Every structure is written in C-alpha cells, then in structure tokens.
Amino acid sequence: MVMFKRVDRLVAMAVLTAVGLTWCTLVALDAFRIFVAELNDVGQGQYTLAKAATYVLLTIPRRFYEMFGYAALIGGLLGLGGLANSGELTALRAAGLSKLRICASVALGLGLLTLGTAVLGETLGPWGERKAQALSLAAKSKDVALAKGGSLWARDGETVISARRGRTQAGSAEVDLDGVRVFEFDKEGRLLSLSVAGTAVHVRNDWTLRDVRRTDFGPDSASSTQQTEAGWKSGLDPRLLALSIIQPQYMTLGDLGRNIYYLDRNNQDASSYRGAYWTRLFYPINVLVLAFCAVPFAFGTLRSGGLSKRLFVGIVLALGFYFLQRAIVSFGAVYNLHPAFANAIPPLILVLAARFYFRRNA
C-alpha cells in the first residue's frame, strides 16, 4: 500500500507540474490574443488601454476554466513523457504496474484539480465575465449600462429602458428582453408614461412589447391600459444589447436552470440554454475521461519521441475529441436527441476504445 501511495505521488506530481505549466501557457496566449483584438476598440467612447487590460484580466478565470481540458491532456502527456525520458516510467512498468494502474494515478492527480476548476467555472468565471462585459459596455457606449445583479439600463432619446434580463436568439445577434420597463419623459424631464411588459422582442427591425400594461400620466391624473401585444418604436440597437448579455456557455448552472425554467414555462425555445447546461455538467467527466483514456494510446510514442512529438499527439487528440463532441452534440440537436444523451456519447466512445486497448495491451 505504501508503494502504491508513493507511485501515485510520483506520477501525480510529474503530471500536475506539466499540466500547470501548460495551463498557464495556454491561458496567457489566449489572453494576449484577446488583448490584441481589444486594442482595435481603444479610443471608442471612453475605452482606454488600461480598461482593455482590465477587461482581459477579468476574463482570466473564465479562460482558465475553458482551457483546463486541453491543458490536462497535453500536460498529462508531457508529464508521462518526462517520466519516460528519465527511465522512471520504464521502472514502474518493470515493477509490475500496468498501464491502467499508471493512468489511474494520472486521473487521481487530476481529479482534485478538476474539482477546483469546476468550482472556478461556477464562481469567479461567470462573475469576472459579467464585470468584464459591464466595464466594456459602459466605456464603449454612454447609452447602455449594466446595473448590479446583471439588470440592463439603456437610453433612447427621451426614453429610458430597464430590463431584468436578456437572451440572445440562436444564430443571431438579436435579443429578447424580460421584465421590461419603458419610461418616457418630456424635454423638461417630466414622466409622461410607464410601460411594464413581460418581454420585448425584436423582429424585422421593430420592437414588440408583450403582456404590456401602459400608464399615461397627465397633469392631474393617470390612466392605465392593458394589451397582449403592442408595438414599440425605438432605435435601440439589439446588436449593442447583445454585447451586454452573458452567453449561455458562460453562465452558472443555477442561471442556466432558471433560464430553462422560464423559457419552458412560457413555451419558448430553451435549446441553447439546455445544451449549455448539460455541456457544463459533463465538463468534469469529459476532462477526466479524455486524460485517462488518451494517455495510454501514446505510451509507445512517449518512449520514442521527444517534446515535439508529445505536443503533436496531445494537440491531435484534443482537437479530435473537440470535433467529435461538437459533431455529436450538433447531430443530437438536429435529430432532437436529449442533450444529456448527446453529451454522454463522446466520453462513452473513449471509454470503449480505452477498454479495448487495455484488454489487448494490459
């Protein structure tokens, strides 16, 4: 038992060190790429170089979450490659440890790191993304702002709009707004009317308020009307509003669940949120299965190849799994497969491939 604990410690430390270096490198490269892209917007409104740097820094937790799967795979290959180059991997095999046992040590080391990454994706990741979007939007546009808690405020001439939340439409930059309040003022700042609507929908360049109650204020009185649907003349650009809305893949499981419940209750399409929900649930499983199942396939390569070959193997496997997953999930969306089933197929394929490999090369 002591020997096994030492083996686990040896393999885990080698792998985690390589994963950490790979992880930081991938995130740094991705952050630098985004920073260069943000430089094109410097000078727009009040968006300065310092705000561009702050924007990128706020998105770092989310980038750590997104890059962990690739870092776990490539770092695992590099870590085992280091053990192979020093002869320690050969010694472990000569001592009677199977490839399955060594891969279990890799999974053991990555398990705790995966758990921490999942927590990061539910806490600092979404929080930083919201802060980054609010910073960018406030600096680039003086007419749209995000309030604390994610509610949206916008100004269109003498009209002020408030929305509790917004949703992007699938395949479009346009948005739907929920919990909408439209305040109309005159040039002296007096409130003329207040419209409270369940939703605001942008269709064919026009806004439509649904389930709306409008109150008009006169000098000495107020009158209210209720309508199922009413047109709303507004120059509010939905593409600008889309920049203020956190995309489903960046939301927490709780936020995704609430959006799914709301859309299902109102007979609206929740497929994008449901897909993001199950993708996030399967994220830790995909990382561990990929690291556990892909590493033994490269055992022969690790003995004969150097750093460049191990990097190549890791990148090919990571890209292969990414495209396999996206293809199967997209296939499931087209043929109305439940997202849970579609997300379970790629890791299941890897598990079956690994089982076949271990039976032949135990």
Query: What is the domain partition of the chain in residue ranges?
Result: 2-123+266-361, 143-246
Q: Tell me yes or no: is domain 143-246 CATH 2.60.450.
A: yes
Considering only residues 77 and 237, tell me which one the structure prediction assigns the higher pLDDT.
77
Looking at residue 142, its pLDDT comes to 60
Closest by alpha carbon to 292, among 319, 312, 321? 321
Q: Averaged over 276-298, what is the pLDDT?
A: 79
Q: Look at residue 120 and tell me whether its pLDDT is greater than 80.
A: yes
* Among 29-38, 58-67, 199-208, 241-250, the least confident range: 241-250
Confidence grade of residue 2 (pLDDT, cut at 50, 70, 90): very low
pLDDT digits (tens, 9 = 90+) for 136-151: 877 776 656 555 555 6
Alpha-carbon gap, residue 340 to 16, rounded angstroms: 30
Chain-wide mean pLDDT for the chain? Answer: 79
Q: pLDDT at position 9, please?
A: 80
Residue 1 reports pLDDT greater than 50: no
CA distance 258 to 340: 18
Indicate the DSSP class of residue 162: E
Residue-level pLDDT at 36: 93
pLDDT in tens, 27-54: 999 999 999 999 988 887 788 999 999 9
- Amino acid identity at 347: P
Burial class (CB in 10 A: 0-12, 13-18, 19+), 89: buried
pLDDT of residue 65: 93
Alpha helices, DSSP H, located in 95-161: 99-122, 124-140
